[in-house]
Chain A
Amino acid sequence: MSTAAYKFKIVMLGDFAVGKTSLVKRFVYDAFDDMYLTTLGVKVTKKEIHIEDNGNRVEVMLLLWDIGGHGRFSEISMNYLKGAGGAIIVSDLSNADTMKHIQDHISLFHEINPGGKFFVALNKADLVDAGKSGSDYIKKYLDHPASCPDDVVFLTSAKTGNNVETLFHTMAVQMMREKQ
């Protein structure tokens, strides 16, 4: 039985093969493998983290909903998105199409969870130009870059682990603050 003070359902959204499962695996198990396996149905992974809050140690349970990436959004059962406190929209920096779909995933998430907290993980950052910032990519690929402010965009690499811990931790802290 969990004794966590807070429990949040976070859904991982994004196109097929962008690295949603790899991000979860890196965050929860600090592991990464190159073997590609399609996520089928729903896989929920629990991760308990500790947050320092005004000198107190607060335990937060994250339920990471990893659902299969699909070519069409309609294939995602709306059931999966219900009750999600937040979403991580994952895209592949080396694949322009997945970058262009970020806006669609945000819209889908907000359709079921209006006002829900979301973060954007621009994944596979190890494969692209290190000189660019997240906002550079957002401005390039999103029709409405203003809908995606700098503080919710993270350049991540499930392969190297870069920024993965920070992304999930930042998200947990912000969701906890909103609950308080």
Chain B
Amino acid sequence: MSAVNEVISSRFGIYSLVLGKNLTFQNVPVDLLDYLGVESSMARSEISELFPEVVGLEPDIMEIISGLLEKFLLGYVNRIPEREIFFNLHVYPYEINKNAIVVIEDVTESGMSLRHVQQRRNELFLANMELLHRDEFISTLLNTMTNPVFYKDERGRYLGCNTAFAAFVGMEQHEIIGKTDHDMMFPGIVSLHREDDKDLLVSGGERHYESVVKNCRGEERYVIVSRAAFPAVGGSTGGIVGVMADITERKEMEDRLAKSEESLRDRNAVMENDLRLARKTLSALIDETPPDIPGCSIAVRYQPLEEVGGDYFSIVPLGEMGAAVFLCDITGHGVTAALFLSLIKYFSERIFFTCSNDPGGYLFRMNNELHGYIASYFITGLYGVLDLGTIKKFRFSAGAHPLPVILRKNGKAEFAGESGIVIGFVANATYPENEVRIFSGDMVFLYTDGIPETRNKQDRIVGFEEELLSLFERGRRSTIEDTLDAVMKSLGEYRGDVPYDDDIILLGFEIY
């Protein structure tokens, strides 16, 4: 043993020891203890104390001692942090059934070298894994997109696509790679292919266009294709990336909307025609030309809001006595209002035969005729008798209607009388009769609420009080026609750019 030990120990970095069959070293050299970084007290120690790396492997070592195993090796034992060394631990049989020889071969240099190689390999492995993960992430993103996406190289060969595009063309993703549009058999691919691909590759930028493309099942689909040139690593154009948006459903909806619009236009035309007819009918109902009444001059201004208005009036001569006037404003406008007006005209003419000289009775009957006839349709109205006899007076009853304005000869205006409730709202409603003396040179004005409710830019209305009286006072002219023009002009100036939102009827009576 000593001869062998001398030979082995003479080589640098190799130490040998004799291991007894009780797995104990008898005399560990100091230089080995120093090499292993352990205390000198370990010169006599069990193998597992000196080399904890063999814990659990004692049975194998016992087999070496007993000659059942030819060799035992524990490679690249790494002593960190105690010592930055690597060694191979060899155990060979020596003197069968008595002991073994343990050789410690220092391989620190090769270990460090091997570690560097493995380190580099592992770094590359990790970098590759990161790239794979990134690639997998991008693929996942692309495949999550419901819009078909494809990308081609500068020669038009597909570099890849997402699953939506593969499904659209009816191929597997890997089958598409490397193919050109012309290699692909699906019928719509030519529609996707554009002659300006070359321009796009040369000039860069992006293109967007709509197209009808047949998918792999031969179904026509409307798509918006957006394509852009992407750069290669060196800065030159690498190829084209494209995204398709299937807008078939949207197109179909647009078609349906267009048809619906057309249908609505037709129906609207019918309605407009109906309105024109209603307007003509209403024109027949309302006689805008006032009758000639002895003892007074009458002027009319009628300004319906829509093609068919909701205001109505009639002036009926009463022979030598003067005239009767009926004025009303119904809720709403349009065809229904016109129909309602025709009903009112019918009622008013019927009632007139028995109540022409009885304003209160007239409205009482009108109220009862209308009550409950058409729910939600009521009127405000006024019926009056202009008595131009020896003692001139104006007798009238009103149902929630703006009160008449009497513009005296001296230029002062005043409201006359009081009003009852809305006509047609409550059965058997009574309407007080008012009587106001009028004189030669006075003017009497009857009107609908379109005048006092005229609104200006400051969102204020003329109102039913002083400002309304002032409007008439300022408008006074020498004739009733000029006066009505002046009042309407003032009203227009008050309104400014604000559009009218109600019908207007203004009746003026100038007393001789």
Q: Which residues of A contact B (CB under 8 A)?
A: 1-2, 7, 9, 16-17, 29, 36-44, 46, 63, 65, 68, 79, 82-84, 95
Contact = CB atoms under 8 A, between A and B. Distances in A.
Contact of A9 (B55, B75, B125): B55
B77 A41 contact: yes
A83 B54 CA distance: 9
Contacts of B55: 7, 9, 44, 63, 83
8 contacts: A1-B42, A1-B49, A2-B49, A9-B55, A16-B122, A17-B126, A38-B119, A38-B122
B122 A9 contact: no
Interface stretch (B110-118, B153-161, B453-461, B494-502): B110-118
Contacts of B59: 82-83
Q: Give chain B's interface secondary structure class.
A: helix
Q: Considering the complex of A and B, which 4 residue pairs feature the smallest CB-CB distances, nearest first?
A: A83-B56, A41-B76, A43-B78, A38-B118
A59 B52 CA distance: 17
B60 A79 contact: yes
B410 interface: no
Contacts of A9: 55-56
A82 to B, nearest CB: 5
B119 A37 contact: yes
Interface string B397-419: 00000000000000000000000
Given A1-B41, A1-B45, A16-B125, A42 B53 contact: yes
A41 B122 contact: no
Interface in B94-151: 111, 114-115, 118-119, 122-123, 125-126, 129
B15 interface: no
Contacts of B60: 79, 82
B253 interface: no
A40 B53 contact: no
What secondary structure prevails in chain A residues at the interface with B?
Answer: loop
Contacts of B115: 37-38, 40
A29 B118 CA distance: 25
A79 B111 contact: no
A41 B75 contact: yes
A63 B52 contact: yes
Contacts of B79: 43
A30 to B, nearest CB: 13
Nearest to B39: A1
B74 A42 contact: yes
Interface of B: 41-42, 45, 49, 52-53, 55-60, 74-81, 86, 111, 114-115, 118-119, 122-123, 125-126, 129
A46 B52 contact: yes
A95 B79 CA distance: 30
Given A40-B114, A41-B75, A84 B56 contact: yes
A37 B122 CA distance: 9
A95 B125 CA distance: 14
B78 A39 contact: yes
B131 to A, nearest CB: 14
A40 B60 CA distance: 22
A40 B78 contact: yes
A124 B53 CA distance: 28
B56 A82 contact: yes
Nearest to A68: B118
A83 B57 CA distance: 6
Contact of A42 (B41, B49, B77): B77
B422 to A, nearest CB: 68
A79 B71 CA distance: 13
A1 B43 CA distance: 11
A57 to B, nearest CB: 23
Most buried by A among B45, B52, B118: B52
Given A38-B115, A38-B122, A42-B78, 16 more contacts: A1-B45, A16-B125, A29-B81, A37-B115, A38-B118, A40-B115, A40-B118, A41-B75, A41-B86, A43-B80, A44-B77, A63-B55, A79-B57, A79-B60, A82-B56, A82-B59
